[in-house]
Amino acid sequence: MSLTATTSSPRIAHLQRETSESSIDLTLNLDGTGVSDIQTSVPFYDHLLTAFAKHSLTDLTVRARGDIEIDVHHTVEDIGIVLGQAIRQALGDKSGISRYGDALVPLDEALVQAVVDISGRPYLVHRGEPAGFEFHLIGGHFTGSMVRHVFEAITFNAGLTVHITVQGGRDPHHIAEAEFKAFARAFRQAKAFDPLVSGIPSTKGAL
């Protein structure tokens, strides 16, 4: 059994994306310590991505500008797309990883479960946000509906199967933050190298 394939190349990605709606520069290291430097021009999103980096032990640098004078939507979604693409690229062939992860994370009254499968098959099941959550402007600028939209963007572009279930919660800030923390913790497990795994953890031989 050889483990060399699992650590042969650094799991790092640097992507730039420029459109008429946003300009994004993102660097990610899946084997980091959770250090982040995030300036998206959307303050609450900076908060969420900082939490993701910290709790997934992913080093993450993001510089983004966008047409936030219209709405934060384009900038927030586009960063989700680039983050997903960077995750997929950095994961490489997925040799030696655990593949699955799950977490149940509270933030005061909010409680969120996240389950991640680094499957290569994009699928998001997202449920349980309380009625009206999608219309709330968190911090006065971040629309609640964008939380699911970001997970759609990450999941579809990274090739992950993700189930996120909000089990309880009242405060929109708590709920959104707990969703990102739960996803981060589950992803941390899934991307981690498992010393008992040799090669790609799939009966198909590919993920």
Residues that bind Mn ion (CB under 5 A): 77
Residue number with CB closer to Mn ion (87 or 153):
153
| Residue 153 Cβ vs Mn ion, minimum distance, rounded to whole Å | 8
Residue number with CB closer to Mn ion (67 or 194):
67
Q: Which residue, among 158, 161, 166, has the nearest Cα to 15 in the 3D structure?
A: 158
Residue number with CB closer to Mn ion (152 or 179):
152
Residue number with CB closer to Mn ion (117 or 152):
152
- From CA 139, how far away is CA 117, in angstroms rounded? 32
| Residue 143 Cβ vs Mn ion, minimum distance, rounded to whole Å | 11
- From CA 151, how far away is CA 157, in angstroms rounded? 10
Q: Which residue, among 120, 82, 121, has the nearest Cα to 207 in the 3D structure?
A: 120
| Residue 152 Cβ vs Mn ion, minimum distance, rounded to whole Å | 8
Residue nearest to Mn ion (CB): 77
Give CA separation, 165 vs 114, 178, 179, in Å: 6, 11, 8
| Residue 82 Cβ vs Mn ion, minimum distance, rounded to whole Å | 14
Residue number with CB closer to Mn ion (77 or 177):
77
Structure tokens at 26: 């993102």
Output phi, psi for 206, to 5 deg. -150, 145
Sorted by sequence, the CB contacts under 8 Å of residue 6 that are 6+ apart come out as 95, 96, 97, 193, 197
| Residue 48 Cβ vs Mn ion, minimum distance, rounded to whole Å | 17
Sorted by sequence, the CB contacts under 8 Å of residue 194 that are 6+ apart come out as 96, 97, 98, 201
Residue number with CB closer to Mn ion (73 or 174):
73
